[in-house]
Amino acid sequence: MPLIASKISCIKPPSGSSRKTVADLNGLYLQVRVTKNGLIRTWIYRKQNLKDRIIFIGNYPEISLAEARKKTLENNTLIEKGCNPWKIHRKEKDTNQDGTPRDCFKNITEEWFSKTKTNLSEGQKK
């Protein structure tokens, strides 16, 4: 049964559990977690017929139900076209808005290695 926007704020994990995941439509899920700061409601996208991978869409209420469904529809359209939304999401996550690489551990170490590999011995390059 699809989620209703007015009922989202009422969803809570069962007593004794710290997490509850509720399905919406087309691979969209709302995950409700109990933390020290209270309840956190997170939108995730998951397609179970493919490898069980998850894409974080955003937290509720910053991302509304309509926005989360729109992002889910975009991901399903990419799959129908033969694209891999997980690779696209990873590429977006690893780059800034202007297309330059984001300062993550992988990018920084690759940059360092490319600058210093000429000074390394053969044993150190492995």
What are 59-89's pLDDT values in tens digits? Answer: 998 999 999 999 999 988 888 888 888 777 7
User: Which of the four CATH numbers 3.30.160.390, 3.30.565.10, 3.90.226.10, 2.30.30.230 does domain 5-83 have?
Assistant: 3.30.160.390
Number of Cβ within a 10 Å radius of residue 97 = 7
Coil, strand or helix at 63: coil
Domain range list for the chain: 5-83
Q: How far is Cα 76 from Cα 111, in angstroms, rounded to an integer? A: 35
Residues of the chain under the 50 pLDDT cut: none
